[in-house]
Amino acid sequence: MTIGAFVVVIIIGEAVIYWGLSSGRNPPEYFWTAISFLFALPVVAYVFIRSARGSKEKLATFINSNVDAIRSWACVGPLSETGGYEADCEFSNGCYVQCLFGVLGSDDKKSGILRVFRFISGPETAKVAPLIKARIDGKTLKTTKLPDKDKVFDSWRESETSWKRLVSQDESIRSWVAAHLFWKRSRLAQPFPGDVFQVFVLCHDLHLRSPKHEGEWLKGKTLGVAFQFIEPTDRQVLNDYYNGMITTADKIIQYVKETVGIKKT
């Protein structure tokens, strides 16, 4: 945990400095080390806080680009896990979407994570959540990464797994992959704004922050698709960009639901 590690470093550093200064047997260099450490802490804290606030501002573009499709949403943070902010949204089509940007990162490359979920059991409401809020359910569905090569994606057409065949045969999914997934270019190239460089299909026993009620959680089993991406710098394409990811994810989720014996909810 980023914040927890930062606090531990502060405590240990302060303890070492206190012990060193109180022992009375310190070379002159030690005092400069102690002064430097104490001076660096506020600087690091300032950068960290500014970065966390920046991650909250980054979420505004996601919310604004999907405002017509969102039924309810909440922005929470800074999170203890990352120090960043997270938008939790309920969409009018029944999907739940999380969008999270990292605390650190350059302005021209906003690396984020987008998770699209549909509950397949529940959700029930809860007032508290466990420390680990998402547990992978490998019995219902084994976590699967979208192929990193064209020939592997093509091989899904002959897969024994029904949903993989359907995904590979869906031309809208194939065209979205061709347009956005980073592996379509050389592996030596650097990712550009708009690239998606990891996509996972997974099943979770999940505690999701309620977009409607502060301090409440939605508890249940979900099918989901998670994307790791770099947000486009062109504001004009954001609506289509996020809509494409969410639509693609929902199609994959529906194929999984139809073929692994999960009843529609």
Q: In the chain, how many domains are there?
A: 1
In a domain, 12, yes or no: no
In this predicted structure, the answer to whether residue 264 has a pLDDT above a threshold of 50 is no
Peptide bond into 232 cis (omega under 30): no
pLDDT of 1 reads 43
1 within some domain:
no
Q: How distant, in Å, are the alpha carbons of 26, 97, 98, 251 from that of 121?
A: 63, 17, 19, 19
Confidence of residue 258 (pLDDT cuts 50, 70, 90): confident
Q: Is residue 4 part of a domain?
A: no
Extended strands (E) in the chain: 70-76, 86-91, 96-101, 111-126, 134-136, 144-145, 196-209, 217-230
pTM, to two decimals: 0.76
Give the model's pLDDT for residue 40. Answer: 65
Residues 209 and 115 sit within 8 Å (Cβ to Cβ): no
Residue 148 lies in a domain: yes
Q: Does residue 130 belong to any structural domain of this protein?
A: yes
Average pLDDT, the chain: 79
Any domain includes 254: yes
Say if residue 244's pLDDT is above 50: yes
Alpha-carbon span 116 to 139, nearest angstrom = 20
CB contact at 8 A, 84 and 52: yes
Q: Please write the tens of the pLDDT for every residue from 154-205.
A: 899 999 999 999 999 999 998 898 888 866 555 566 778 888 988 999 999 9
Q: Which domain holds residue 122?
A: 49-259
Could you read off the pLDDT of 129-149 as tens digits, one per residue? Answer: 888 888 998 888 999 999 877
In the numeric block, which tokens belong to residue 119? Answer: 């509950």
Q: What pLDDT does residue 140 have?
A: 87
**99-118: average pLDDT:** 75
Q: Is the pLDDT of residue 49 over 80?
A: no
- What is d(CA 74, CA 216) in angstroms, rounded to the nearest whole number? 11
Residue matched to tokens 């809208």: 172
**Residue 15 domain-assigned (yes or no):** no
Does residue 2 belong to any structural domain of this protein? no
